[in-house]
Amino acid sequence: MQNSLLATGRTNSNPRDIFLQKLDKEIDLPAMGSAVARVVQLASSDDHAVQDLAYFVLSDVALTQKILRLANTVKYRGASGGQITTVSRAIFLLGFETVKTTALTLLLVERLSNLNHSHAVRSELKRAMCASVIGREMARSSKRAGAEEAAIAALFANVGQIMIAAYDYEHYAEIRELTESGRLPEEQAAIKVLGYGYASLSQSILRSWNIPESITHAIAPLSGGMLKPAKSTQEWAQQIALFGVEVTQLVSSASGTKSRQTEDVLIARFGAALNLDRDKLSGVMHTVEAEISMLSKIMDLSEREDEQESEVSEVQPPEIPMQFLMQPDDPLEASQNTERYPSGKPMHARELLLEGVQQMMQMSASAHPKVNDIMLLILETLLNSMGFRFVAICLKDQKGSEFRARLALGDDLQRRKAGFCFKNGSRKDLFMLSMESDSDLMISDASDLKIQDLLPEWHRNLLPDARSFMILPITVNQKPVGFFYGDRALPAPEGVPSDETALIKILKTQLLTALGSRQA
């Protein structure tokens, strides 16, 4: 349960707690934290992590769009050899940590970037994103564990600045003035103006969100001057997160003539602790600059002319210099604008299926994907190419007595997935007949009386309005182990021509190969 000053009824004259109470009222801080915590808790080592992250992304149209845009930028699309149209493939290509931190960034951007003084808020959000990417790149070059936590800590290290910019701009501007004039460092300026530091506020917010203490502790300030090599993973994560934050602070205030001086400051402070020299720093910054350029435009964090004009009299927050890259056409937007049959099936279903097959081949050729990853990619391909409202893969349990949806996508997901469960019965229904004969079924109009008579009771109860659907049995070693399912709420007289059927069979064959090798 999320911690909330309002929920507990606790009142306090502490200025920080008063501000947290204000945030509870303004933005429902615990609800926002619940979404953040859900993503933070996804661990890349978990067998279901990719599935869970894909579900989270697909549940948000804006996030899906941005992840696909990122996957289709020159940097990533060039490596894949074709357009990326599925979230599961995007996760495989971009990397679990990249998609996870991008999702976390978007949670902040969507909730906060369009508030009053949005120029200041968006600049702080950009700083947070930049710090996270820097932290992730530095962590990748180390053999230590905890890279993911360090990147997340860097992302949330200035959540206090973001909230003050959004909900207490007068004090934010005063702090910026003290900082920009060189009179006080940012943390000391915040303590002078607010009565508490930014770091303290950020930690309080993360604790109210039930973020793991290892991440919360990693955003605590470190002593000034040269840092020594970390004695623990916790201290190392703290150094990585702080490095990301301090790089953004220095770069945002440094002009071209100061760039070498900025490097000297960073190397003097972090060189011994992070094994950092000028070449390594330059390499990291070059990689980060390219990625931040892409992310900033995708996240819509670039400067807007109307903001510059309307906020010209305000104290300007720090700005990180970036050169934006042109993005390719948005695959999600293209799919939303595509021509469709009355049933909802895209008229270029063959091309979409072919893209799915190509992505499956690329995934299989470049690595050894998990069976769950293959299943998820097939479901996404079927959902997008066939215009289904709901798709699932149903597998027999270990006891062999019950079939249950293992993965599913689409509308009303949780209810339908939970209800997609049945036991072997004596009555021969469509699902049993399809599996026993190993025959793919494409039902164009389920209202036909002969079809209705063969529908099992569980399907009638769970999906009473399914008017067209597909059953693709999965048979391993001549034994039925489950099936793919997809349906629409409208009949589909256009059917599934032979070229589309052939591509669907190729997709299914990839799963059969993976299942067969696993049982061998």
Residue type, 290: A
Contact at 8 Å (CB) between 327 and 298?
A: yes
* 468 three-state secondary structure: strand
Max Cα separation, the chain?
Answer: 83
Q: Is the dihedral of CA 23, 26, 27, 28 positive or negative?
A: positive
Q: Which residues pair with 468 in a beta bridge?
A: 488
Could you give the strand order of the β-sheet that contains 402-410, starting from the edge strand earlier in sequence? Answer: 421-423, 402-410, 390-396, 479-488, 468-476, 441-443
CB within 8 Å of 294: residues ≥ 6 apart: 70, 73, 75, 325, 327
pLDDT, tens digit only, all 520 positions of the chain: 444 444 434 445 688 888 888 887 777 777 788 888 888 888 766 667 787 888 888 877 788 888 888 888 756 665 555 678 888 888 888 888 888 888 888 888 877 766 667 788 888 888 888 888 888 888 777 767 667 788 888 889 889 999 999 889 999 999 999 988 888 888 899 999 999 999 999 999 999 888 989 899 988 888 878 999 988 888 888 888 888 888 887 766 544 444 677 788 889 999 898 888 888 888 888 777 777 777 777 777 765 544 443 433 344 444 433 322 333 445 555 555 579 999 999 999 999 998 888 888 877 766 677 888 889 999 999 998 999 999 999 999 877 678 999 999 988 888 999 999 998 766 789 999 999 999 999 999 999 999 999 999 999 999 999 999 999 999 988 888 999 999 999 999 999 999 999 999 999 988 888 776 655 4
Q: What are phi and psi of 160, to 5 degrees?
A: -65, -45
* CA gap 25, 413 in Å, rounded: 31
Torsion of CA 261, 262, 267, 270, to 10 degrees: 150
CB within 8 Å of 382: residues ≥ 6 apart: 356, 388, 391, 470, 484, 486, 504, 507
Cα R_g (the chain), whole angstroms = 26
Q: Tell me how long the chain is.
A: 520
* CA gap 412, 16 in Å, rounded: 41
- SS3 for 171-197, per residue? HHHHHHHHHHCCCCCHHHHHHHHHCCC
* 447 three-state secondary structure: coil
Contact at 8 Å (CB) between 228 and 300?
A: no
* CA gap 286, 114 in Å, rounded: 30
Q: Which residues pair with 346 in a beta bridge?
A: 340
Contact at 8 Å (CB) between 44 and 148?
A: yes
Q: Regarding the domain delimited by 336-519, which CATH topology (the fold level of the hierarchy) does it fall under?
A: Beta-Lactamase (3.30.450)
* 476 three-state secondary structure: strand
What dotted CATH number matches 13-27+120-310? Answer: 1.10.3210.10
Instruction: Provide CATH 1.10.3210.10 ranges for the chain.
Output: 13-27+120-310
In the block, residue with structure tokens 């059927």: 501
Contacts 24+ apart (CB under 8 A), 399-403: 403/431, 403/482
Instruction: Provide CATH 3.30.450.40 ranges for the chain.
Output: 336-519
In the block, residue with structure tokens 């025959």: 439
Return the closest-CA partner of residue 494 out of 302, 360, 349: 349
- DSSP, res 338: S
Tokens found for residue 222: 């470190």
* CA gap 90, 63 in Å, rounded: 12
118-140 helix and 147-156 helix, angle to the nearest 10 degrees: 160
Buried b (16+ CB within 10 A) or exposed e, 363-376: beeeeebbebbbbb
Contact at 8 Å (CB) between 82 and 362?
A: yes
Return the closest-CA partner of residue 152 out of 228, 43, 248: 43
